[in-house]
Chain A
């Protein structure tokens, strides 16, 4: 086996491991959202090719307000769906679209775009 082939194998396998680690196994840091004086846990989520932040941590039993701002016109992110909660919102581009939630049961609740390409998660403690 020639040297270049060995290098390609090593680099290729290394890259594969890197991809797997980066997308699957690296731990995503959640953003903890504090309740304001009014008792609402309010967060702003930027929507552009993904949700930023995409993992949000809330306290159970208190109202949650997620303000989505979709900073793109690509149709992919037009809808945000909270299928565990039966909620859906159409995000008008460059506008703040609030989604009001209240989750009593601690756990993880996923949300995603209408096509299942972009993912986010609410962690309720």
Chain B
């Protein structure tokens, strides 16, 4: 793969030896000197993705895109195509050239789309081919980024220099984006020539032909998911076949293995010739069971052995081999044994253990498929195509080809392909798959839309703002995958054990054999062998190994389904230990922007009048509270009028005239200045202020008319969420920069007992630390931008997202939906997941801890308790299935409100 060196513009092999990682992006360089240049002044060489799309889209523009493997795609405008019959002529002429992968002409757009490898054929050749077919090509426009362009003199130098180049029609430099827009006639000059020309002038160039998503990689990832699914299915079917084979054979084997149990006639009892023949048959049948049904035990054990590592396969393979060997000797050379009773066979152990363990593995595959459903669901959300406006036409293109600033059209019922901002139209959009919010959201012009959400009612056009791996969905998938592969601290105990586990079991088995042989009851060899095999077969390292990761995977996935992104297993584990939760006020408990709350009237004025007049005045104001009043009036469908003689009195308020009436709007000082008698309104305003609202007096024609109050209102579900948090046993603290009076008012409203008011933004982290010094485990909930230091300081930082900002660095948990209920859900989910992990670990440890001694016959001298290897095999087979199934119970997790 090649990448462009952002400093010199050279194509370099990626990954290269010289590279820098910046904001999660990797930049490769041709040499150390370019790398150093970049490190010193990265901004100089980087053009923001938005600016990269400064390419003007006009009808006669050729577009280039160069893929990583030297393949080039080009759209060449062709002049004068009138009939569809001319198309084959041009196409065949182009296809005669070497290195052409694809050529097709769209009569609607009058463009030839050609894909070719640039090592074999040049753009000029293609142009000549088109000319040969009797057609002219239009001029093309490209935008090239230029490095090191700083002042007006370089602008004219580049522009003049380019214009002198034959084939270039015009060149204009855009200093803001650091690029030059060139109109040229393809054929007379090509991209490389232009680049060379610029280089000759002493500047380096870089491509701005759009931020192409890494299509190659993306489509591969998509395929892999399916392929893996297919491989898993195939494995399941193979295992089931192996199981059925072993199980069917196991039935007669068990039947003839216990002649006394079934009270079989004399000729089938121990020592009879018939039974010996049956044993011979069993010994032959056992071979395909061991080496076909149970082949993975041997291949796995052998591979492990080579690597000096032991695993479940080692245990099973050793166990069944020992049983087979003994049975083989008993069948063919019974004379070897000193007493006849020793010459018994254990073929049944082989058949049953193989059948059961294989069945267990098959069931586990099924169960595990369900555990990873959440991430598969996320991947499946991605839209496949997008309807994009290109050169005035609607074209359906694969979603990977959508570039920044593309205008995309979405009709009712369709999936929104990428992230963007609505530029025309409005609709209600179902965002449940991303935010977990069930109720569709109303979206209008300038509102953000999230890729992969579903448009419900209206049609709209939006501008792509994030594409490829930058979309919210891609970020979410990345985060979830990262979290799923992280380790919960609790896993450390398991890691310590698992390294020693399997070899430990082998040693225990050997020692068990020795002890039973030396001290056991007669026939000692039989007992020694049975206990040896049982110990090997009962140990279940898989259940231990899978206990934590599988629950973590389900838990993190479940979070993502509900709009909660948990960054790591560590975060998940800490979240259930919290004592205190600190909530930022603005934007977390409240909406974060003021809105109209009260209209109080006096002296006979109506509410509508007061609101209409004050909103009409405020229409001209730029005060932040003004917008709240205007929106409040609009919400009540009040029509606004135009104000004359608008006059803002800083620190006081505003006055203006509407329909000849004089309107005053402002604080108490404003009213005093104009000597307005406020009467009871003054008291009312105190009351409003006590409630955390900002009151403004209105006077009409020098008579007090009322009060308009605005406030940053509490989010709808904040009260509920805080009650729930308290119920979870958490101490809820509110932190804010607001004055104590307002803070207390809000705190009272939502039921928060402890308030930290008048805290400067930079002191929030300090206050979190103070709480931690009280010995508490503290979570901080904030917006992730202003509160980043406090989020980082807290044991758990929860960032309340705004929809598309999912990858907030400072946070351990990101709540995509801006509701406090997400915090409740995160804590509940963390508790549920950790409980599940503990159950699994307990199960796995308990099972191994109890199963191994029983199998070794530790309890035999006291209670005569000894385990059959058949039961041990069953226990091993179903232990991991049990663990996975238990983890899958988490999928039914429902938030409790």
| A119→B313 CA distance, assembly (Å) | 14
Q: Which residues of B contact A75 (CB under 8 A)?
A: 232, 235, 361, 364-365, 368
Of B228, B311, B485, B486, the contact of A117 (CB 8 Å cutoff): B311
A67 contacts partner chain B, Cβ-Cβ < 8 Å: no
Q: Which residues of A contact B13 (CB under 8 A)?
A: 38
Distance in angstroms from B23 CB to nearest chain A CB is 16
Would you call the interface of chain B mostly helix, strand, loop, or mixed? helix
Q: Which residues of A contact B228 (CB under 8 A)?
A: 78, 90, 92
B92 contacts partner chain A, Cβ-Cβ < 8 Å: no
- Given contacts A82-B485, A116-B544, A117-B545, A73 and B235 within 8 Å (CB-CB): yes
User: Does the CB pair A115–B514 fall under 8 Å?
Assistant: no
Q: Which residues of B contact A115 (CB under 8 A)?
A: 542, 545-546, 549, 880
| A108→B80 CA distance, assembly (Å) | 67
B578 contacts partner chain A, Cβ-Cβ < 8 Å: no
User: Does the CB pair A1–B542 fall under 8 Å?
Assistant: no
- Given contacts A23-B503, A116-B549, A117-B542, A50 and B304 within 8 Å (CB-CB): yes
- Given contacts A86-B485, A116-B549, A50 and B307 within 8 Å (CB-CB): yes
User: Does the CB pair B507–A16 fall under 8 Å?
Assistant: yes
B513 contacts partner chain A, Cβ-Cβ < 8 Å: yes
| A28→B369 CA distance, assembly (Å) | 35
| A38→B16 CA distance, assembly (Å) | 6
A87 contacts partner chain B, Cβ-Cβ < 8 Å: yes
B511 contacts partner chain A, Cβ-Cβ < 8 Å: yes
Q: Which of A67-125 contact B (CB under 8 A)?
A: 72-76, 78, 81-83, 86-88, 90, 92-93, 95, 97, 100, 102, 114-119
User: Does the CB pair B507–A49 fall under 8 Å?
Assistant: no
User: Does the CB pair B514–A12 fall under 8 Å?
Assistant: yes
| A99→B9 CA distance, assembly (Å) | 27
B684 contacts partner chain A, Cβ-Cβ < 8 Å: no
B665 contacts partner chain A, Cβ-Cβ < 8 Å: no
User: Does the CB pair B232–A49 fall under 8 Å?
Assistant: no
Which of B19, B228, B542, B568 has the most CB atoms of chain A within a 10 A radius of its CB? Answer: B228
User: Does the CB pair A74–B303 fall under 8 Å?
Assistant: no
Q: Which residues of B contact A20 (CB under 8 A)?
A: 503, 507
User: Does the CB pair B482–A39 fall under 8 Å?
Assistant: no
A19 contacts partner chain B, Cβ-Cβ < 8 Å: yes
User: Does the CB pair A12–B510 fall under 8 Å?
Assistant: yes
User: Does the CB pair A81–B485 fall under 8 Å?
Assistant: yes
- Given contacts A23-B308, A75-B235, A75-B364, A38 and B507 within 8 Å (CB-CB): no
| A28→B304 CA distance, assembly (Å) | 13
B541 contacts partner chain A, Cβ-Cβ < 8 Å: yes
Of all chain A residues, the one with the shortest Cβ separation from B569 is A83
| A62→B482 CA distance, assembly (Å) | 22
User: Does the CB pair B485–A87 fall under 8 Å?
Assistant: yes
Q: Which residues of B contact A49 (CB under 8 A)?
A: 299-304, 311, 313
Of A24, A48, A63, A102, the contact of B303 (CB 8 Å cutoff): A48
Which A residues lie at the B interface, using CB under 8 A? 1, 5, 8-9, 12-13, 15-16, 19-20, 22-24, 26, 28, 35, 38-40, 48-52, 54, 62-63, 65, 72-76, 78, 81-83, 86-88, 90, 92-93, 95, 97, 100, 102, 114-119
Known: A73-B238, A116-B498. 6 other contacts (CB 8 A): A40-B17, A54-B309, A78-B231, A83-B486, A118-B311, A119-B499
User: Which 9 residue pairs spanning A and B have beta carbons closest together?
Assistant: A39-B17, A49-B303, A116-B545, A88-B485, A12-B514, A23-B503, A49-B300, A50-B307, A63-B15
Which B residues lie at the A interface, using CB under 8 A? 13, 15-19, 21, 224-225, 227-228, 231-232, 234-235, 238, 296, 299-304, 306-313, 361, 364-365, 368, 481-482, 484-487, 494-495, 498-500, 502-503, 506-507, 510-511, 513-514, 517-518, 528, 541-542, 544-546, 549, 568, 880
Could you give 18 example pairs across A and B, Cβ below 8 Å?
A8-B518, A8-B528, A12-B514, A13-B514, A19-B506, A20-B503, A20-B507, A39-B16, A48-B299, A73-B234, A75-B361, A82-B485, A83-B487, A87-B485, A93-B231, A114-B549, A116-B549, A118-B311
